[in-house]
Structure 1
Amino acid sequence: MLCKAPNLRTAVLGCRIQPTILTPCAYHTTAPSSFRPTPDPSRTITRRRVPLPKHNVVFPATSSSIRCASSVSSAQGSSPSSAQSTSSNKKPTEILDWNTFFRLRRRRRFYQLGSSITTSAMGFVSGAALVSSANMDALVSQLPLDPFISLGLVTFTCAGAGWLVGPILGTGVFNLQNRRFRTQMDEKEKEFYRRVKKFRVDPSASSMANPVPDYYGEKIASVAGYRQWLKDQRAFNKKRQTYL
C-alpha cells in the first residue's frame, strides 16, 4: 500500500506541531456588514402577475368623499320633495261613503237648529226693541185686539222670522266648512230620497194600531238605521195585509 495509517505517536506529534490548538478562541460580536449584490443591467427580470381573489374592502371615508356623498344625497333628496310638493298641490278628491253622509247630514241638522235658536233670539230682542222705541200706534189701531197683545204679536212675529231664517244661515255655514263634500252630498241626497220614495209605505192604509213608520226617513242616521227602516216598512205592509 502507498500510504500507511498513522499510529498514536504520529498523531501526538501532529497535535504538538499545530499552534492553533493552543491559542484561545476569540468571538467577534460585531454584526457583519450588509451586502447587496449590484444589479446586472444586462439581465432582464420578468415578473409574473398572479391573480388574487377579490374581497370587499372598505376604505375609510375622506372629507372629499363625504362632501361628494352629501351633495349627491341632497340632490337626490330634493327631487322627492319637489315631487311631493307638486303632488300636494293636486290632492285627490275624498270619496264620501254612506255612513259619513248620514253623519254629516245629522251635523247639518244640528247647525240648522243652533242657527234657528240664535236667530230667533236675535229676532225677539230686535222686535222688543222696535216696539219699545218706535211709534206703533198706527199699526196697533188697525188690529182689533188689545194693544199689549198686538205689541206681543209683533215681537213674536220677529222671533218667528228669525227662526225661519236660521236654517238658511246654518246650511251656509255647514257648506262652507264641508265644501269638499258638497257635490257628493247633493248626489247622495238625491239618491237617498229616491230610495225613500221608492220603498216607503202608502200612508192611506195607516191606522191607530198601525202608524206610518218614519215616512220621510228623517230618523235614519246610518246604514244600519236604513236597513231597520226597510224592516219597519215591510212590517207595516205585513200588518196591513193581516188586518185586511
Structure 2
Amino acid sequence: MASILTTKVAFRSLPRAPLEPKNGIVAVATRCNSTGATPKPTPETLNWTQYLAIRRQRHRWETVASVPTALFGLQGAIVYFSAQTVDFTTSIMGLDPMMFYGLATVGITGLGYLCGPIVGSSLWRISHRKTMHLIEEKDKEFHRRIVRNRVNPSAQSYNNPVPDFYGEKIGSLHQYRQWLRDQAKYRRKAQWATEEAS
C-alpha cells in the first residue's frame, strides 16, 4: 500500500506537458481492439441531386454524340455517291440523278444524327460501369414518380397542351419541382374546362 502512495506522489511531482502541440504535430494515443470482426461496408447510395446531375450529363453525351455521327453519315454519303457513275439521261425513281443523290445524302446525314443518342448513351454507359446499378435503381424510382405524378393527357387541347409528359426536361430538383407545379396547373386548367363545359 505504501508503494502505491509513493507512486502517486511521484506522478504528481512530474512536470506536465503543455497542451499546445510542438511544430504542429499532436501525438495521440489510441487503443486498438482487434476482435477479428471486419466492419460492414456501408451500402452505396445515390441521392436525387447526384442522380439528376448524372441524368443531365447523360443527356449531354447523347446530344453531343449526334454531331460526329451526323458528320460521319455526311462523309460516308459523299464518298459513296461521288464514286457512282451518273447517267444524266435517265432518272432515278422519277428524279434527276443529282437531285436524288442530294436528297439521299441529306437523308443519310439525318440518319447519322438520329444514331447519335444511341452511340452517346452507349459510350456514357461504358464510362459509368461502376455506378450503373445505382443509376438504374434511381431510373426506375424516377420513372415511378413521373408516372404517379403526371397528368392524364386525355383532356389536352391546343390551348392546354400536356407539359413534359415523360419528364425529359428535368435536370435538377428545382426543375422537378417546377414540373410538379406545371402538372398541377394543367390539372386545374383541365378541371375548369370540364366545369365550364357542363
In the superposition, the TM-score normalised over structure 1's length comes to: 0.59
Q: Which 4+ residue blocks in structure 1 deviate beyond 6 angstroms?
A: none
- For residues 224-243 of structure 1, what are the structure 2 equivalents within 5 Å? 224-243=174-193
Structure 1 CA distance, aligned partners of 2:93 and 2:113?
A: 24
Kept in 1, the 8 Å contact 2:71–2:109? The answer is: yes
Kept in 2, the 8 Å contact 1:96–1:181? The answer is: no
Structure 2 CA distance, aligned partners of 1:240 and 1:93?
A: 44
1:96 aligns with 2:61: no
Structure 1 CA distance, aligned partners of 2:47 and 2:74?
A: 40
1:53 aligns with 2:6: yes
Q: How far 1:142 sits from its partner (Å)? A: 3.7
Kept in 1, the 8 Å contact 2:156–2:162? The answer is: yes
2:69 is paired with a residue whose SS is: helix
Number of the residue aligned with 1:151? 101
Structure 1 CA distance, aligned partners of 2:144 and 2:6?
A: 79
1:121 is paired with a residue whose SS is: helix
Q: How far 1:236 sits from its partner (Å)? A: 1.2
Q: How far 1:136 sits from its partner (Å)? A: 5.7
Could you tell me which of 103, 121, 130 is aligned with 1:180?
A: 130
Number of the residue aligned with 2:154? 204
Number of the residue aligned with 2:22? none
Q: How far 1:134 sits from its partner (Å)? A: 3.0
Structure 2 CA distance, aligned partners of 1:122 and 1:91?
A: 46
Structure 2 CA distance, aligned partners of 1:92 and 1:162?
A: 44
Structure 2 CA distance, aligned partners of 1:106 and 1:142?
A: 44
Whose relative contact order is higher, 1 or 2, with alpha carbons under 8 Å and at least 6 apart?
2
* Runs (5+) with no aligned partner, structure 1: 1-49, 59-78, 80-85
User: For residues 52-76 of structure 1, what are the alpha-carbon distances to aligned partners after superposition, in whole Å with 9 as ceiling and x for unaligned?
Assistant: 9342599xxxxxxxxxxxxxxxxxx
Identity of aligned residues (%): 38
Q: 1:53 to 1:179 in 2, by over 3 A?
A: same
Letter in 1 for 2:55: R
Mean Cα deviation higher: 120-129 or 218-227 = 218-227
* Runs (5+) with no aligned partner, structure 2: 15-31, 33-37
Structure 2 CA distance, aligned partners of 1:127 and 1:195?
A: 43
Q: How far 1:201 sits from its partner (Å)? A: 1.3
Q: How far 1:196 sits from its partner (Å)? A: 1.5
Structure 1 CA distance, aligned partners of 2:41 and 2:119?
A: 29
1:117 aligns with 2:70: no
2:178 is paired with a residue whose SS is: helix
Q: 1:136 to 1:116 in 2, by over 3 A?
A: farther
Could you tell me which of 155, 160, 166 is aligned with 1:216?
A: 166
Number of the residue aligned with 2:81? 131
Q: 1:156 to 1:92 in 2, by over 3 A?
A: farther
Structure 2 CA distance, aligned partners of 1:91 and 1:136?
A: 69
CA RMSD between the two structures? 2.9
